[in-house]
C-alpha cells in the first residue's frame, strides 16, 4: 500500500531528512493517490523531492521531463550518490551510452528517467514507454508550457498530449514561477481532468533585494563584487557581446569570471558551466541562456546588469541565489536605455497585438518595481497575489529614500481613473490629466471630465513615474491579463477619501549602493566557533576532492548545511554520523569513513 509512512521512511533512509518541508507532504499525498498535482514553490524549497519520493514509493517507472541537459545530468548524479537507480537519455551523450541507459530502463532496473521534452514526445519514445509500467510523470519548469509564463518554450507545448497517451498516470507539474493566470494555463494544458494546486508562497526572505539606476555599470558591479571575494554568483547581461566584455573586465580586475551565452562553442559553454558548478569563487557572466534549472544551492548573489523582461523572469532569475536558505543578494541596475530596448524587443516579436500589449503592461509592472517608493518585497509578492509586511531585507527598508507627499496628485489620478470607467491605461489617463486634445479623448468625451487638464503642471515622464509608484504602493491595480487598464484598489479608495497618504519618490535615480564590508565566512558557518569553522573548511576541502574524483558538483556529495552540522557535532562513530542532517543510507556507506577520518585527524591535531 502506497502510504505517507512509506514516503517518510524513504525521506529519512534515502535522503537523510527527518521532516518534510512546507508544501511537500500535500503534493506527495496527492500523487500517491493517483491524482495530478501542480506545485508552485520557491526555488530551493525542495520541489524535486515531491516527485522523487513518490517515484520510489510507487512501483514502476517515473519519467521526469526537464529542459536542460546539464540539469538532468546533475540530478541523476546526485540521485545515484543517494543510492537511487536513475538514468538520463539526452543529446549530449554518446549513442552507446543512451542505448545502455535505455536497456536498464526497459529491463525495469531504473526507477527515474530524466528526458527532454522534444525527445519524449517523439512517436518512437512514446510507443516504447507505453509498453512499460509508467506510474508517474513529472514536468519540471512547468511554466514553460504556458504562454502566460516568463519563458514559454514551443517544445513544451506538445506535453499537453501526455494525458491522452497515459490516461491513468498522475502528472506532477513543478515550478517556482507562476501567477494565477499561468497556473490556470498549466493545469488546463497538462491535466486531463481535475488536479490539486499546491502554492506554498513566493517569498524568499533570505535574499536581500536591491535596485539602482545605472551610472557606470561596470564599476558599480566591481564595487558590489569587492565585498564578495570567494563567493559564487551570476551576473546577467542583455547581450552576448556584453557578457564577453563584462567577463573580460572582471578578469582584468582579478576576479575569476567566465562568460556564458548561446553563441559560444558547445564545449566552452559546458566547461564554463562545469567550472561554476564545481569550483569555489567563480562568477558566471551570462545571458538568460544560463540558469533555468541550475541546481546549485550556494549561489550567493545574482546581479542584473540590465533590466529583465518581466517580473516573472526577474523572480525566476533571482531565485537562483540562496537556494540553501542562507543569506544571498539580488541586485539590479536599470536605465532608460533598458526600457527602450525592452519595448523594442516586444514590438519586434512575431506575436499577436494582444500578446504584445500584455507584455508591455508586464514591463510596466517591473519598472514600477524599480521605482517603488517603499518595501520592494511587498510589491514583488503583491504581483503574485500575496500580502506581506515591510521585509527589512531590501534596499528601501534598510536605506529608505526621501519621499514627497503626493496625496493631492494621487487623488487627481484616482479621479480620472474613476471618471473614465477604470478601464484605460496610463498613456490615455496622462493625456487626460495634461489636457490633451486627441481624437480618442474627444470620442469618449473625456475632454469634458472635471479632471481634464488638472495635471498640466507635470510632464508625461513625471506622471508615468507617479502612476507606476501608485501601482507599486497598491493604490492602483494593473490588468495585465486584459488591455492594461488601471483600476482603483480598496487602498486607493481610502486615499480618495482622505484616509490614506501617498508618498512618492520625486527622483527615482537611486543613490549609489553603499556596499558594507562583510566577513568572508560562508553563510552556513556563521554560527560556528572559530575552531569549528576551521573544521568546516577542512570538510569542504575534502568534499571538493571527492566531488572531483566522482565528477559531480560538490553539493551533490553533501550541502554546506550538512558539513556545518558535522563541524558542530563532530560525530566519532558511524551511528552518530547517520544522525547528521542530509546523510542517507547510501551516502553513509559511501562517505562516512572518509569524513569521520577528517574529523578525527582535525580533533587530534587541535589537542
**CATH number for the segment(s) 404-504:** 1.10.10.10
Residue 316 has pLDDT above 90, yes or no: no
Residue 18 has pLDDT above 70, yes or no: yes
Backbone angles phi and psi of 106, in degrees to 5: -65, -30
Q: What is the pLDDT of residue 529?
A: 85
Q: What is the pLDDT of residue 530?
A: 84
The domain ranges of the chain are 4-199, 207-398, 404-504, 523-606
* Neighbouring residues of 118: CB distance < 8 A, sequence distance ≥ 6: 155
285 touches 258 (CB < 8 A): yes
% the chain with pLDDT above 90:
52
Range of weakest confidence among 120-124, 209-213, 378-382, 549-553: 549-553
Range of weakest confidence among 3-7, 126-130, 269-273, 469-473: 469-473
Q: Decide which of 3.30.365.10, 3.40.50.2300, 3.40.50.300, 3.60.21.10 is the CATH code for 4-199.
A: 3.40.50.300
- The two domains 4-199 and 207-398 share their CATH topology (first three levels equal): yes
Half-sphere exposure of 409 (CA within 13 A, CB side): 23
- Can you tell me the distance from the alpha carbon of 384 to that of 381, in angstroms, rounded to the nearest whole number? 5
Calculate mean pLDDT across residues 345-374: 83
- Can you tell me the distance from the alpha carbon of 335 to that of 508, in angstroms, rounded to the nearest whole number? 11
Residue 192 has pLDDT above 80, yes or no: no
Is domain 523-606 annotated with CATH 1.10.150.80? yes
Beta bridge partners of 404: 504
Calculate mean pLDDT across residues 431-450: 95
Backbone angles phi and psi of 331, in degrees to 5: -130, 135
First to last CA, the chain: 53
**Using CA atoms in the order 13, 14, 20, 21, what is the torsion angle rounded to 10 degrees?**
140
Indicate the SS3 state at residue 12.
helix
> For 216-270, what is each residue's pLDDT tens digit?
899 999 999 998 988 999 999 988 999 999 999 999 999 999 999 888 888 888 8
Confidence of residue 324 (pLDDT cuts 50, 70, 90): confident
Q: Return the C-alpha cell found at 173.
A: 507539474
- Can you tell me the distance from the alpha carbon of 302 to that of 204, in angstroms, rounded to the nearest whole number? 13
Indicate the SS3 state at residue 394.
strand
Q: What is the pLDDT of residue 519?
A: 41
Confidence of residue 58 (pLDDT cuts 50, 70, 90): very high
Residue 32 has pLDDT above 80, yes or no: yes
> For 269-303, what is each residue's pLDDT tens digit?
888 888 888 888 999 999 876 765 566 888 999 99
Indicate the SS3 state at residue 74.
helix
Calculate mean pLDDT across residues 480-504: 86
Q: What is the pLDDT of residue 179?
A: 77
Cα angle for residues 170, 175, 180 (degrees, 5° grid): 95
Confidence of residue 432 (pLDDT cuts 50, 70, 90): very high
Confidence of residue 109 (pLDDT cuts 50, 70, 90): very high
pTM given for the model: 0.69
Q: What is the pLDDT of residue 514?
A: 39
Calculate mean pLDDT across residues 501-506: 86
Q: What is the pLDDT of residue 606?
A: 64
Residue 510 has pLDDT above 60, yes or no: no
- Can you tell me the distance from the alpha carbon of 469 to that of 152, in angstroms, rounded to the nearest whole number? 29
Angle between helices 311-318 and 353-370 (to 10 degrees): 60
Backbone angles phi and psi of 546, in degrees to 5: -65, -40
Calculate mean pLDDT across residues 511-518: 39
* Homologous superfamily of domain range 207-398: P-loop containing nucleotide triphosphate hydrolases (3.40.50.300)
- Can you tell me the distance from the alpha carbon of 386 to that of 480, in angstroms, rounded to the nearest whole number? 16
* Cα Rg, the chain, nearest whole Å: 26
584 touches 15 (CB < 8 A): yes
Mean pLDDT, the chain, rounded, equals: 87
Q: What is the pLDDT of residue 367?
A: 86
- Can you tell me the distance from the alpha carbon of 143 to that of 446, in angstroms, rounded to the nearest whole number? 40
Calculate mean pLDDT across residues 429-454: 95
Residue 348 has pLDDT above 50, yes or no: yes
Backbone angles phi and psi of 592, in degrees to 5: -55, -50
How many angstroms from the chain centroid is the CA of residue 487? 29
Calculate mean pLDDT across residues 454-480: 84
Amino acid at each position: 500500500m502506497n502510504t505517507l509512512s512509506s514516503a517518510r521512511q524513504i525521506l529519512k533512509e534515502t535522503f537523510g531528512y527527518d521532516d518534510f518541508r512546507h508544501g511537500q507532504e500535500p503534493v506527495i499525498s496527492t500523487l500517491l493517490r493517483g491524482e495530478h498535482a501542480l506545485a508552485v514553490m520557491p526555488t530551493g524549497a525542495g520541489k524535486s523531492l515531491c516527485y522523487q519520493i513518490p517515484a520510489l514509493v510507487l512501483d514502476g517507472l517515473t519519467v521526469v521531463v526537464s529542459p536542460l541537459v546539464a540539469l538532468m545530468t546533475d540530478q541523476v548524479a546526485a540521485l545515484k550518490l543517494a543510492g537511487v537507480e536513475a538514468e538520463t537519455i539526452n543529446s549530449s551523450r554518446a549513442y552507446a551510452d543512451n542505448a545502455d541507459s535505455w536497456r536498464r530502463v526497459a529491463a525495469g532496473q531504473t526507477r527515474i528517467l530524466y528526458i527532454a521534452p522534444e525527445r519524449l514526445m517523439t512517436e518512437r519514445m512514446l510507443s516504447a514507454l507505453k509498453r512499460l509500467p509508467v506510474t508517474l510523470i513529472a514536468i519540471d519548469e512547468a511554466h514553460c508550457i504556458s504562454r502566460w509564463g516568463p519563458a514559454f518554450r514551443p517544445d513544451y507545448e506538445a506535453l499537453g498530449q501526455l494525458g491522452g497517451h497515459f490516461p491513468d498516470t498522475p502528472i506532477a507539474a513543478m515550478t517556482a514561477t507562476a501567477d494565477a493566470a499561468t497556473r490556470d494555463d498549466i493545469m488546463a494544458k497538462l491535466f486531463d481532468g481535475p488536479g490539486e494546486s499546491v502554492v506554498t508562497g513566493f517569498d524568499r526572505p533570505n535574499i536581500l533585494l536591491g535596485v539602482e539606476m545605472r551610472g557606470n555599470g561596470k564599476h558599480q558591479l566591481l564595487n558590489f563584487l569587492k565585498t564578495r571575494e570567494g563567493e559564487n554568483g551570476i551576473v546577467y547581461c542583455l547581450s552576448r557581446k556584453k557578457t564577453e566584455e563584462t567577463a573580460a573586465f572582471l578578469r582584468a580586475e582579478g576576479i575569476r569570471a567566465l562568460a556564458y551565452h548561446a553563441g559560444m562553442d558547445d564545449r566552452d559553454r559546458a566547461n564554463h558551466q562545469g567550472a561554476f558548478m564545481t569550483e569555489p569563487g567563480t562568477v558566471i557572466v551570462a545571458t538568460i541562456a544560463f540558469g533555468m534549472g541550475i541546481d546549485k544551492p550556494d549561489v550567493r548573489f545574482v546581479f542584473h546588469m540590465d533590466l529583465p523582461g518581466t517580473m516573472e523572469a526577474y523572480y525566476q532569475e533571482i531565485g537562483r541565489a540562496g537556494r540553501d536558505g542562507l543569506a544571498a543578494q539580488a541586485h539590479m541596475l536599470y536605465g532608460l536605455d533598458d526600457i527602450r530596448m525592452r519595448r523594442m524587443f516586444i514590438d519586434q516579436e512575431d506575436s499577436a497585438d494582444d500578446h504584445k500589449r500584455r507584455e508591455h503592461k508586464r514591463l510596466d509592472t517591473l519598472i514600477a518595481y524599480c521605482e517603488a517608493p517603499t518595501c520592494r518585497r511587498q510589491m514583488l509578492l503583491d504581483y503574485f497575489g500575496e500580502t506581506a509586511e515591510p521585509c527589512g531585507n531590501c534596499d528601501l527598508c534598510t536605506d529608505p529614500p526621501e519621499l514627497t507627499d503626493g496625496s493631492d496628485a494621487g487623488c487627481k489620478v484616482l479621479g480620472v481613473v474613476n471618471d473614465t470607467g477604470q478601464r484605460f491605461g496610463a498613456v490615455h489617463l496622462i493625456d487626460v490629466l495634461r489636457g490633451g486634445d486627441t481624437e480618442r479623448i474627444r470620442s469618449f468625451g473625456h475632454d469634458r471630465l472635471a479632471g481634464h487638464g488638472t495635471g498640466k503642471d507635470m510632464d508625461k515622464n513625471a506622471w508615468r513615474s507617479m502612476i507606476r509608484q501608485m501601482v507599486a504602493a497598491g493604490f492602483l491595480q494593473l490588468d495585465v491579463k486584459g488591455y492594461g487598464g488601471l483600476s482603483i484598489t480598496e487602498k486607493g479608495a481610502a486615499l480618495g477619501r482622505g484616509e490614506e497618504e501617498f508618498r512618492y519618490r520625486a527622483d527615482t535615480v537611486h543613490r549609489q549602493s553603499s556596499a558594507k564590508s562583510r566577513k568572508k565566512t560562508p553563510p552556513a558557518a556563521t554560527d560556528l566557533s572559530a575552531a569549528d569553522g576551521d573544521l568546516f573548511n577542512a570538510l569542504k576541502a575534502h568534499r571538493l576532492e571527492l566531488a572531483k574524483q566522482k565528477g559531480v558538483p560538490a553539493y551533490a556529495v553533501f550541502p554546506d548545511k550538512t558539513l556545518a552540522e558535522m563541524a558542530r557535532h563532530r560525530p566519532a562513530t558511524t551511528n552518530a554520523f547517520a544522525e547528521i542532517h542530509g546523510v542517507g543510507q547510501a551516502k553513509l556507506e559511501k562517505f562516512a569513513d572518509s569524513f569521520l577520518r577528517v574529523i578525527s585527524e582535525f580533533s587530534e591535531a587541535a589537542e
